[in-house]
Amino acid sequence: MTDVADTETPPSLDVEAEATKTSVLTGADLIADEVKRLPNAPGVYRMLDSKADVLYVGKARNLKKRVSNYARGQGLSSRIMRMIRETTAMEFVQTRTETEALLLEANLIKRLRPRYNVLLRDDKSFPYILLTASEAAPALVKHRGARKAKGDYFGPFASAGAVGRTINALQKAFLIRTCADSVYESRTRPCLLHQIKRCSAPCTGEISQDAYAQLAHEARAFLSGKSGSVQSELAAEMRAASEALDFERAAVYRDRLAALSHVQSHQGINPQGVDEADVFAAYSEGGQTCIQVFFFRTGQNWGNRAYYPRADKSLEIAEVLESFVAQFYDDKPVPKLVLLSSDIEEQELMQLALSEKAGHRVEVATPKRGEKKDLIDHAMLNAREALGRRLAETSSQAKLLAGVAQAFGLAETPKRVEVYDNSHIMGTNAVGAMIVAGPEGFVKSQYRKFNIRSTDITPGDDFGMMREVLTRRFSRLVKEAGPKAEAPRDENGFGQWPDLVFIDGGKGQLEAARGILEGLGILDDIPLVGIAKGVDRDAGRERFWMPGKPDFMLPERDPVLYFVQRMRDESHRFVIGTHRAKRSKQIGQSTLDEIPGIGPTRKRALLNRFGTVKAIGRAALEDLMDVEGISEAIAETIYDYFHEGAEG
């Protein structure tokens, strides 16, 4: 790839004069000036605002032609015109091919999250079932991340719960061990799973290696889509045992057959003519879009997940779907077949790009008839119903937020509500937490935790802890987002600044909060409410405090009261969970302990370098290798644990 800005500057222009010239240009004038230096080549462009935040990322078969459309300003939507007006700078990357541009565009959108692009939300990696390649006794385990461990992978599954339920049923059907190798090697007698007939106990020789290998073979065959042959074999074995009057052995085969039937009954549709495919169905209503994704592997349905991408209301459903699919496969394995509910404009380009990424031929299709069309229709039905439920919840949420505005005397309905709480035990492991609610319910991506750092706070001083939490939160907000009136908001009015803040506590905590906001000069911008627990800590008898007003209560059975209680309970749940995690970490437990080869010394070195486990998960491979005591092999193991993209 080539950075156009670095390679295309005309040598005849004075660099300093040109920088001065472009710095005063904005909007269409700036874009027209940039077009002069662009090549007739594929690439990716970025539009930036006055704060250097990326507004939009786009790709082009021909950068010069594509970007010049923005300069002319003809036939563009109001959304695009608004974006052009906000543009104060542009950046370009030239690519070798248009497919490379498509893949880079998807990567940058996910990483930079521009305001005017369709954004994939809730983008978590999917779990798999791994049948390990252990020579002694293969194990059946849940797996996330890069697929580099030796063995057979089956999935993806829609959720960890789906994997757990399937593994439980497969334990009953095939009696395969699920323990770690270290546990397996140290056993001297069978564990409880053997007693409840979920493991054949190869660890202590309760089953021969050949017999266990046969169980592993059957499990592999079932997960590979050969469920019919496996069931036929088990049924034959059951009949043979019954005819030999070995009713105990026949009962074992009966139970295994029942377990296999249980797995299949929970899979729903199992298409006959589709071996490996992902099915995408997009449905739009009320300004929102739901995209249902179904996963089919080895002819079996491994579940589905609903997504609600952030997209401008003016976009066509096909545009949303096209951008979503490109981002979806940025860090996920691509199946042989991708079925879409709508024809997308660049379907052939998408097919080429996904094939290039996957290393095998990928077909992208929009079926019009037959079994594949039935799969699309089924996914569409799920998308429509899921969006209907979400719209109903959003409508209820809007009514509740309007009720909050009335109950607490706010001038406008709040779009972002923040609730703050603290947790500690005798002053130790003190943490603060913030939860956020908005027009679509709880916004968990915005939750924040605060480890209490100050050494001047007396252990157990709730007022002091609240002062530290609010000082850190709002000092940073003022610095990063600027004044509340100028801070950007999304199409629902949700932004970085809160419209209402609840403090868990009475008058004392409220005064501590008021003092902090007053000191930062933002007291008039943010309504504050303290929630004092009711008599005997009874829910429904809470008292509310607001600056300059007498305390008051809300009527019992008031929906607004229930809503506030639910937000307060969520803050309790989050802060207590954070507190427990901190205590566990203090006694040496950590996510890092799950990574092979990471002991106390390496864990300490990693945390000293990066600070948090989250930062370690985001680190590049080269940065991990720079840590003392971390070899290239260990760095790859750590990186693979947190990233799903690479495959072995």
What are 275-301's pLDDT values in tens digits? 789 999 999 988 889 999 998 887 777
Residues 6+ positions from 637 with CB-CB distance below 8 Å: 595, 596, 597
Q: State yes or no: pLDDT of 7 exceeds 50.
A: no
Phi, psi of 45, deg, nearest 5:
-125, 150
Q: In the numeric block, which tokens belong to residue 371?
A: 């079994």
| Whole-number Å distance between alpha carbons of 468 and 280 | 46
- C-alpha to C-alpha distances, 63 to 6, 79, 185, nearest whole angstrom: 15, 21, 60
Q: State yes or no: pLDDT of 427 exceeds 50.
A: no
Element (H, E) at 422: strand 417-425
* Furthest C-alpha separation in the chain: 97
Do β-strands 500-504 and 528-532 pair in parallel, antiparallel, or remain unpaired?
Answer: parallel
Q: State yes or no: pLDDT of 384 exceeds 50.
A: yes
Yes or no: say if 357 and 103 are a contact pair by the CB < 8 Å rule.
yes
Question: What are the beta bridge partners of residue 295?
Answer: 278
Bigger pLDDT: 162 or 151? 151
Once rounded to an integer, what is the mean pLDDT over residues 38-65? Answer: 93
Place of tokens 């260990």: 634
Bigger pLDDT: 35 or 254? 35
Q: In the numeric block, which tokens belong to residue 230?
A: 């496996």
Residues 6+ positions from 218 with CB-CB distance below 8 Å: 174, 230, 233, 234
What does the pLDDT look like over 174-191, one tens digit per residue? 888 988 888 888 888 888
Q: State yes or no: pLDDT of 20 exceeds 60.
A: no
Q: State yes or no: pLDDT of 537 exceeds 50.
A: no
Phi, psi of 179, deg, nearest 5:
-80, 165
140, burial (CB in 10 Å: exposed 0-12, middle 13-18, buried 19+): buried
What does the pLDDT look like over 110-161, one tens digit per residue? 888 898 999 887 667 788 889 888 767 899 888 887 777 888 888 788 777 7
Question: Which domains does the chain possess?
Answer: 4-112 (3.40.1440.10), 128-265 (no CATH), 277-389 (3.30.420.340), 415-585 (3.30.420.340), 588-642 (1.10.150.20)
DSSP 8-state class, residue 455: S
The answer to which of 265-279, 411-425, 562-576, 629-643 has the lowest mean pLDDT is 265-279
Q: Taking Cα atoms as reference points, which of 492, 505, 399 lies closest to residue 443?
A: 492
Q: What is the reported pTM?
A: 0.66
